[in-house]
Structure 1
Amino acid sequence: MRALGDTYTSFSRRRFLAASAATGLGAAALSACGSSDSGNSSGKTTIEWWNITTTDPAKKLWAQRAKDFEAAHPDVKVKIVTLENEAYKSKMTALTTSGKLPDVFHTWGGGVLKQQIDAGLVEDLTDKTASWTKDYVPASLAAYQFDKKTYAVPFDIGMVGFWYNKALFKKAKIDTPPTTWSGYLDAVKALKSAGITPIALAGKEKWPGMYYWAYLSMRVAGLEAMQKAATDADFTGAGFVTAGQHLKDLVALEPFQKGVLGAAYSEPNGQAATMGNGKAAMELMGQWAPSVEKSSGKGLGADLGFFSFPSVEGGKGALTEVFGGGGGHAVRKGAPDAAVEFLKFFAEKQFAETLVKETGLIPVSKDARPALTDPNLTAVSDALNNATGFQLYLDQAYAPAVGQEINDSVAALIAGSKSPEQVTRSVTQVAKSEKS
């Protein structure tokens, strides 16, 4: 994997943990969090910055940015704590329980950030950042806004869509990517008739299958229904059942590679390798897909294309409503003023352009967009810029247990052991349990 390390590798571990502070995980070593405004022995103010950027080139770039900030602010010391994705989530769970958070910390937004806000642990950044985030892509801010207030500043944004092999589409005489669900099913049939495996899927890891149900729910029930279902803890509405039926219809066409239920995502012979080696025509995946296809397989080069998830005839959702997420930085309540200054420094145009050019990050600022030259990532950026609605990954938008149940139940539907109705009942049961 390239680019922002675990910011992008989080796709394969996208479940927030429900671990408690009692799980060990180094909480004792974290007791200094929340007190850095008192400075240190040198008389400087220390701000502690926690992130998940564990791989180069981004890791080096971020470390250099911290040094540049210190040079511009001689009275401030930036202490960097970098953790792998799951370790980060676990330790942040412990810190949230203890009521102490780092001064600046990585967040995906959604349900976990909302829990931290409700606990009074996160700074309201609405007024403090408005002057320099006004040109941001609206979809990039959505996951961090609650009650019309902004609690984090994004640095990364992306979406899930279909990555496809242009050569295999041509072989199957598919002239253009489908824009409707019926057209998509026709494309699957055409690929099968041409002796081509239509779709690569990592059935073992569950979360890639969830993407289908999530998008179909968006297209059939609509974004408002998804939000209402979460609020009411009730996913049994007709739209969600219909979404499951559409997925069942797809599964009935046997579109996936052999051994799909035991396939991982980025391992040899997994979803990304199957796609990258030209053994399947499509995969539904986030903006990191080209990189993983290349690292797990050969990569498709100029034969790789991208298209948005199709609309569903008669559905309430629109083709321009996207499903995805990104990364941002939040600030703990009561952190030194230097913490917000650091976020502003981190977001400066020149550095944003550097991240785009050297790490493949899709810019959140419209000013930095000219630095994006990859045609497929540009297509993703275009879709995000034109988005009329945005849905955060379900296992981030909802409570952790609810997201996990969606993953599990959809995997069971794909395996043939659950019906569309059973999926909605199982998710609703967990949602009600979490709400009570």
Structure 2
Amino acid sequence: MASTVPSRRSFLALAGLTTLSVALTAACGADESGGNLSADGKVTFEWWNIATTEPGKSLFPQIATAFTAAHPNIVISTTSLENEAFKSKLTATTSSGKLPDVYQTWGGGVLQQQVDAGLVEDLTDLLDWSAQLTPVSLQAYQIGGRTYGVPYDIGMVGFWYNKKLFAKAGITAPPATWAEYLGVVKKLKAAGITPIALAGKEKWPGHYYWAYLAMRVAGLPALQKAATSKDFTDPGFVKAGVHLKELVDLQPFQPGFLGAGYATPGGQAASVGNGKAAMELMGQWGPSVQKDAGADLGADLGFFPFPTVDGGVGQATEVFGGGGGFALRKGAPKEALDFLKFFVLENESKLLASNGYLPVVKGAESRLTDANKKVVAESLVKATGFQLFLDQAYPPAVGQEVNDSVADLIAGKKTPEQVTASITEAAKSA
């Protein structure tokens, strides 16, 4: 699910451990299945994913069972962990020079560090079916012209909102500008409605606001330039923080938001799903998590893109988001890639029918039946620019600082200027 990176260590120091591991495997006599052949002749591989909420919680095991039923010589050992728990566990196991055979990845800077450490299988020459996937879905997993991951979901972040609560507050149309958005927040508060649900405890949902405002004020090229120059002190980024503070000063979030989780009982998704908050800024998976953690809003649920900012250079067609994918550890069994092909190509219809994922296979968008998902898919098709989640696009330490500093801004502990200074310092130290 979404984009998020907790505290991470650099993977670069692990290259030596990986070399040692490969040498030991060779000395012991590795088989063609990457050393995963058991005494009974069956191939076993590990699969780590984050499918702890519906629809993945039910769907992922079904797909795995269907694959092993068709391939009785294969055993899949599955580990499903909540988003943050997954990343913590992956970081811990990577520190010992290991990765699971197949594991969840969002690409970007985290994947690049794993690749630089020599821990990830290069799939470029093995993925002979990549032409069937949409270019935007593959983008996050391509490094230096090589492909290191297989996507199964792609989408963008935007506002999921409760139409009934908007109508109750006298709001007749979603806001198109930031000024209008602040006006919507004020109308909702005046009507006694909590405008926004936010998982302040988990930090990553808060960074969506700053990232989008930075895109709208300074422009997408400015973010890309900052990643290279390692300088985030551009006045546009400071102004993004100023605009976010404008929102925070309206006290728009649910009571206790600083201690709230995302998919937890009473957390961000549940608050929206249960009608206790009017909207949330979240990715394409938002409705399915709302339903799993709270209730299904059905026809009352709507979607609108992040507003433009008056005077900003960013366009409404520049989108922010990402998806989900899987990477293979270097030397993983070839059967693991066969599983990913089965998962993505042969189960695309099931993934889309679950309403939890958006298409990565070319032409599959025509199968979408959910009106809101169609809006998201169409926005992606029309997008003139795409920015991966900042806590994935940048090196881990930088992404974490973005999350931490923005969380401090929302909590009133940092100024907009201090946010950009802290991110810059992290970038120069990375």
TM-score, length-scaled by structure 1: 0.83
Decide which of 104, 113, 116 is 1:115's aligned counterpart: 113
Q: Contact (CA 8 Å) 1:322, 1:389: kept in 2 or not? A: yes
Map of 1:60 onto structure 2: 61
SS at match of 1:126: coil
Q: Per-residue CA shift, 1:34-62, capped at 9, x if unaligned?
A: 75435443456555544344563123223
User: Given the alignment of the two structures, is residue 414 of structure 1 paired with residue 410 of structure 2, yes or no?
Assistant: yes
Q: Contact (CA 8 Å) 1:37, 1:47: kept in 2 or not? A: no
1:186-197 map, 5 Å? 186-197=183-194
Name the CA distance, whole Å, in 2 between partners of 1:394 and 1:227. Answer: 10
Name the CA distance, whole Å, in 1 between partners of 2:123 and 2:265. Answer: 43
Decide which of 219, 223, 227 is 1:226's aligned counterpart: 223
Q: Per-residue CA shift, 1:310-334, capped at 9, x if unaligned?
A: 1223323221222222221223334
Seen in structure 2, the aligned counterparts of structure 1 residues 190 and 405 have a Cα distance that, compared at 3 Å, is same
SS at match of 1:224: helix
Q: Contact (CA 8 Å) 1:135, 1:367: kept in 2 or not? A: no
Name the CA distance, whole Å, in 1 between partners of 2:260 and 2:357. Answer: 27
Q: Per-residue CA shift, 1:377-407, capped at 9, x if unaligned?
A: 2222222233222222222222333222222
Map of 1:24 onto structure 2: none
Identity %: 61
Seen in structure 2, the aligned counterparts of structure 1 residues 104 and 263 have a Cα distance that, compared at 3 Å, is closer
Amino acid at match of 2:395: A
Name the CA distance, whole Å, in 1 between partners of 2:198 and 2:78. Answer: 34
SS at match of 2:400: helix
Amino acid at match of 1:93: T
Map of 1:82 onto structure 2: 79
Amino acid at match of 2:67: A
Seen in structure 2, the aligned counterparts of structure 1 residues 362 and 46 have a Cα distance that, compared at 3 Å, is same
Gaps of 5+ in 1: 1-7, 22-26
Seen in structure 2, the aligned counterparts of structure 1 residues 255 and 99 have a Cα distance that, compared at 3 Å, is closer
Name the CA distance, whole Å, in 1 between partners of 2:344 and 2:264. Answer: 34
Amino acid at match of 1:230: A
Q: Per-residue CA shift, 1:98-150, capped at 9, x if unaligned?
A: 44444433222111210121122323323432x53334333321211122322
Name the CA distance, whole Å, in 2 between partners of 1:150 and 1:217. Answer: 29
1:190-209 map, 5 Å? 190-209=187-206
Q: Contact (CA 8 Å) 1:162, 1:308: kept in 2 or not? A: yes
Q: Contact (CA 8 Å) 2:7, 2:400: kept in 1 or not? A: no
Map of 2:311 onto structure 1: 314
Decide which of 288, 299, 307 is 1:291's aligned counterpart: 288
Map of 2:268 onto structure 1: 271
Map of 1:430 onto structure 2: 426
SS at match of 2:152: strand
Name the CA distance, whole Å, in 1 between partners of 2:58 and 2:395. Answer: 33
C-alpha displacement of 1:423: 0.9
Q: Which shifted more, 103-112 or 327-336?
A: 327-336
Name the CA distance, whole Å, in 2 between partners of 1:308 and 1:246. Answer: 17
Name the CA distance, whole Å, in 2 between partners of 1:276 and 1:346. Answer: 29
Seen in structure 2, the aligned counterparts of structure 1 residues 204 and 124 have a Cα distance that, compared at 3 Å, is closer
Decide which of 357, 360, 364 is 1:368's aligned counterpart: 364
Q: Which shifted more, 151-160 or 134-143?
A: 134-143
1:20-419 map, 5 Å? 35=30, 36-38=33-35, 39-43=37-41, 47-54=45-52, 56-68=57-69, 70=71, 77-85=74-82, 86=84, 88-129=86-127, 131-348=128-345, 350-358=346-354, 360-419=356-415
Q: Contact (CA 8 Å) 2:258, 2:411: kept in 1 or not? A: yes
Seen in structure 2, the aligned counterparts of structure 1 residues 317 and 126 have a Cα distance that, compared at 3 Å, is farther
Map of 2:8 onto structure 1: 18
Map of 2:14 onto structure 1: none
Q: Contact (CA 8 Å) 2:397, 2:426: kept in 1 or not? A: yes
C-alpha displacement of 1:20: 8.5
Seen in structure 2, the aligned counterparts of structure 1 residues 91 and 326 have a Cα distance that, compared at 3 Å, is same
In the alignment of these two chains, the number of paired residues is 410
Map of 1:5 onto structure 2: none
Seen in structure 2, the aligned counterparts of structure 1 residues 181 and 154 have a Cα distance that, compared at 3 Å, is same
Seen in structure 2, the aligned counterparts of structure 1 residues 69 and 152 have a Cα distance that, compared at 3 Å, is farther
Q: Which shifted more, 144-153 or 337-346?
A: 337-346
Name the CA distance, whole Å, in 1 between partners of 2:271 and 2:155. Answer: 22
Amino acid at match of 2:195: P
Seen in structure 2, the aligned counterparts of structure 1 residues 180 and 20 have a Cα distance that, compared at 3 Å, is closer
Amino acid at match of 2:121: E
Name the CA distance, whole Å, in 1 between partners of 2:165 and 2:303. Answer: 14
Name the CA distance, whole Å, in 2 between partners of 1:394 and 1:46. Answer: 35
Name the CA distance, whole Å, in 2 between partners of 1:335 and 1:207. Answer: 31
Seen in structure 2, the aligned counterparts of structure 1 residues 157 and 90 have a Cα distance that, compared at 3 Å, is same
Name the CA distance, whole Å, in 2 between partners of 1:194 and 1:421. Answer: 34
Gaps of 5+ in 2: 12-16
